[in-house]
Amino acid sequence: MTVFTNADESYRVKKAFNFKAPPETVDVLTTSSVEVVNLANNHMYDYGDKGYNDTMSVLKNANIGYYGYDNYYVFEKNGVKIGMAGFYCAESTAAECKNKTLTAINALKAKNVDSIIMTYHWGIELDLSQNTDQEEVAHYAIDNGADLVLGHHPHNVQGIELYKDKYIVYSLGNWTFGGHINPTYFETFLFHIDFYYSGKEIVDSKIVIVPARVSSEEKPNNDFRPTIVDGAEKQKILDQIQKYSKNVTVNK
């Protein structure tokens, strides 16, 4: 997610690429039925603390939940509490990210949540496969109580793993990628998961993979309108995900 702020150039952090959006564009989220977003990524502080704080204020005023860094979120539905936490780990060691993970999971458990979702901005940009650090942290999260791990940052899709009956999505790819009119990879997908509970315990889960591209037009024309794909294009994306997946079949 990008920064929602009107901060001027005096707040701009010196780096290669800085992103922000006017606060009123939060309507893109509210009109799309987005209920909760993750803040932790390598652009959330592009306009310093002001940009970050402005973003949280905009989301709060729009009644959109948020989590990331030291913000945890508890989503409650039908009496079930789902805790969410997220971290920027692309520049952290696996050990550092694991320490943050344990702190978050323990904090969410203290809130008496029934399930935990961990989100990570991690991996190497443009790598087609997850690396060993991603796998180590994801396994650690599940070993300590996470029920789902979601990843992004590489700007392309990576594998999915079923580990101890819990799903790990190593990279969802881009989605509404307004920062680049012609990104290297147009391939992306929606990850849909249904959790089935007995009381407040997950007893089963089912997933659906929905291949898509970041634009309604074909490469190289990115119009920032994600579009579900079919046929050969769909199969290509499923095959790409499957190539690096473990203990799960997605290319059917």
Strands, sheet with 187-198, edge to edge from the N-terminal-most edge strand: 187-198, 201-213, 227-228
Q: Which CATH superfamily is domain 72-179 in?
A: Metallo-dependent phosphatases (3.60.21.10)
Helix (H) / strand (E) element for 149: namely strand 148-152
For the cut 80, the answer to whether the pLDDT of residue 250 exceeds it is yes
- pLDDT at position 58, please? 98
Confidence bin at 176 (pLDDT 50/70/90): confident
Question: Mean pLDDT over residues 186-205, rounded?
Answer: 94
For the cut 80, the answer to whether the pLDDT of residue 187 exceeds it is yes
SS3 content of the chain, % helix, strand, coil (to 5): 25, 30, 45
Phi and psi angles of residue 82, each rounded to the nearest 5 degrees, phi first: -110, 115
Confidence bin at 252 (pLDDT 50/70/90): low
SS3 of residue 83 by DSSP: strand
- pLDDT at position 219, please? 87
Confidence bin at 160 (pLDDT 50/70/90): very high
Mean pLDDT of the chain: 94
Query: What is the distance between the alpha carbons of residues 252 and 244, in angstroms, rounded to a whole number?
Result: 15
SS3 of residue 238 by DSSP: helix
Query: What is the distance between the alpha carbons of residues 211 and 67, in angstroms, rounded to a whole number?
Result: 26
Query: What is the distance between the alpha carbons of residues 146 and 43, in angstroms, rounded to a whole number?
Result: 26
| 162 dihedral zone (left: phi>0; alpha: psi -120 to 50; beta) | beta
Confidence bin at 251 (pLDDT 50/70/90): confident
Confidence bin at 191 (pLDDT 50/70/90): very high
Look at the block and give the residue holding tokens 């939940």: 65
* pLDDT tens digit sequence for 103-139: 999 999 999 999 999 999 999 988 889 999 999 999 9
Torsion of CA 197, 251, 187, 67, to 10 degrees: 20
Task: Tell me the residue ranges of DSSP E strands in 177-250.
Answer: 187-198, 201-213, 227-228
Domain boundaries in the chain? 72-179
Confidence bin at 183 (pLDDT 50/70/90): confident
Q: For residue 191, which of 178, 173, 203, 204 has the smallest C-alpha distance? A: 173
For the cut 90, the answer to whether the pLDDT of residue 1 exceeds it is no
Confidence bin at 218 (pLDDT 50/70/90): confident
